[in-house]
Structure 1
Amino acid sequence: MSEIDPFGEPPDGGLNAWLKVFGCFLLYSNIWGFTLSFGAFEVYYSHNLLSSSSPSAISWIGTVQSWFLIIVGVLSGPLFDLGYFRPMLFIGNFGVVFGIFMLSISTTYWQVFLSQGVCMGLGAGLLYVPSMALIGLSFSKKRSLAQGIVTSGIAVGGISYIVAFDKMTATKGFGWAVRTMGFVALAICIIAFPALLTGTSALAKARTKRKLFDPSAFKDSSFNVFTLSSFFTFLGYIIPYFYIPSFAEDTLGISREFSLYILVFSVAASFLGRLSAGLVAHYLGPLLTWFCCAAISGVLSLAWIGVKNQSGLITFAVFWGFCSAGLVTLPAAVFPSLCPDQRRLGTRVGMSWGVSSFASLIGSPIAGALLKHKVTHGKQARSNYLGPQLWGGCCLLVGAGIILVLLLMTMKRRRSSIFI
Structure 2
Amino acid sequence: MSHSSPHAKSRVFYGWFVVAGAFAVTFVGFGCAYTFSVFLEPMQTTFHASLGSVSLVFSVAGFLYFALGIVSGPLADRWGSRQLAIVGMIMMSLGLVIAGVAPNLSTVYAAYGLGIGLGVGCSYVPSIGAVQRWFLRQRGLATGLAVSGISVGTLVMPPLASFLIETVGWRNAYVFLGILAAVIGIGMALLIENDPSDRGLGPDGAIPHHPAHTRHVGGMSIRDAVTSWRFVGLYLACLIGSFGLFIPFVHLVPYAQDHGVPSSSAVFLLSLIGIGSTVGRFLLGGLADRMDRRTAVLVMFIGMAFSQVLWIFSNDFWPLAAFALIFGTFYGGFVALLPSIVMDDFGGRNVSGIIGILYTSVAFGTLVGPSAAGYAFDITHSYTLPILASVCTNVIAACIVAGTGRVPIQLHKAGGARGD
Output the CA distance in 2 between the equivalents of 1:34 and 1:263.
12
The 8 Å contact of residues 246 and 370 in structure 2, kept in 1 or not, is answered as: yes
C-alpha displacement at 1:409, in angstroms?
Answer: 4.8
**What code does the residue aligned with 1:358 have?**
F
Give the secondary structure class of the aligned counterpart of 1:58. Answer: helix
Output the CA distance in 1 between the equivalents of 2:239 and 2:59.
14
Q: Match for residue 358 of structure 1?
A: 364
Q: Match for residue 402 of structure 1?
A: 400
Note closer, same or farther for the CA distance 1:114–1:393 as it changes in structure 2 (3 Å cut): same
Q: Match for residue 316 of structure 2?
A: 309
Note closer, same or farther for the CA distance 1:60–1:273 as it changes in structure 2 (3 Å cut): same
C-alpha displacement at 1:410, in angstroms?
Answer: 6.3
Output the CA distance in 2 between the equivalents of 1:305 and 1:105.
37
Alignment of 1:95 with 2:103, yes or no, is no
After superposition, give the CA deviation of every residue in 1:115-152 in whole Å (9 maximum; x if it has no partner): 11112211221111221233234444444333232222
Note closer, same or farther for the CA distance 1:224–1:202 as it changes in structure 2 (3 Å cut): closer
Aligned residues: 391
Q: Match for residue 41 of structure 1?
A: 39
Superposition pairs of residues 239-258 of structure 1, within 5 angstroms:
239-250=247-258, 252-258=259-265
Note closer, same or farther for the CA distance 1:112–1:150 as it changes in structure 2 (3 Å cut): same
Match of 1:168 among 156, 164, 171: 164
Note closer, same or farther for the CA distance 1:199–1:14 as it changes in structure 2 (3 Å cut): farther
After superposition, give the CA deviation of every residue in 1:275-332 in whole Å (9 maximum; x if it has no partner): 2222343344211221122112113213311112222111111111112222222233
Output the CA distance in 1 between the equivalents of 2:11 and 2:132.
12
Q: Match for residue 414 of structure 1?
A: none
Q: Match for residue 29 of structure 1?
A: 27
TM-score (norm 2): 0.81
The 8 Å contact of residues 212 and 350 in structure 1, kept in 2 or not, is answered as: no
Give the secondary structure class of the aligned counterpart of 1:214. Answer: helix
Q: Which moved more, 1:151-160 or 1:225-234?
A: 151-160
Q: Match for residue 233 of structure 1?
A: 241
The 8 Å contact of residues 278 and 330 in structure 1, kept in 2 or not, is answered as: yes
Output the CA distance in 2 between the equivalents of 1:12 and 1:393.
49
Q: Which moved more, 1:178-187 or 1:233-242?
A: 178-187
Note closer, same or farther for the CA distance 1:49–1:396 as it changes in structure 2 (3 Å cut): farther
Q: Please, what is the CA RMSD of the aligned residues?
A: 3.5
Q: Match for residue 389 of structure 1?
A: 387
**What code does the residue aligned with 1:253 have?**
G
Q: Of the two structures, which has the highest relative contact order with CA contacts closer than 8 Å and spacing of 6 or more?
A: 2
Output the CA distance in 2 between the equivalents of 1:91 and 1:279.
31
Give the secondary structure class of the aligned counterpart of 1:384. Answer: coil
The percentage of aligned residue pairs carrying the same residue is: 22
The 8 Å contact of residues 237 and 401 in structure 2, kept in 1 or not, is answered as: yes
Match of 1:299 among 292, 298, 306: 306
After superposition, give the CA deviation of every residue in 1:164-195 in whole Å (9 maximum; x if it has no partner): 11111112111222222222222213532553
In structure 2, runs of 5+ residues without a counterpart are: 200-215, 410-420
The 8 Å contact of residues 3 and 16 in structure 1, kept in 2 or not, is answered as: no
Output the CA distance in 1 between the equivalents of 2:403 and 2:233.
8
Superposition pairs of residues 187-226 of structure 1, within 5 angstroms:
187-192=183-188, 194-196=190-192, 214=223, 217-218=226-227, 220-226=228-234
Output the CA distance in 1 between the equivalents of 2:240 and 2:10.
36
In structure 1, runs of 5+ residues without a counterpart are: 376-382, 412-420
Output the CA distance in 2 between the equivalents of 1:356 and 1:168.
30
Give the secondary structure class of the aligned counterpart of 2:61. Answer: helix
After superposition, give the CA deviation of every residue in 1:325-383 in whole Å (9 maximum; x if it has no partner): 222222333344555x876666544433324421222122222221146x7xxxxxxx4
Output the CA distance in 2 between the equivalents of 1:211 and 1:281.
23
TM-score (norm 1): 0.81
Output the CA distance in 1 between the equivalents of 2:355 and 2:190.
30
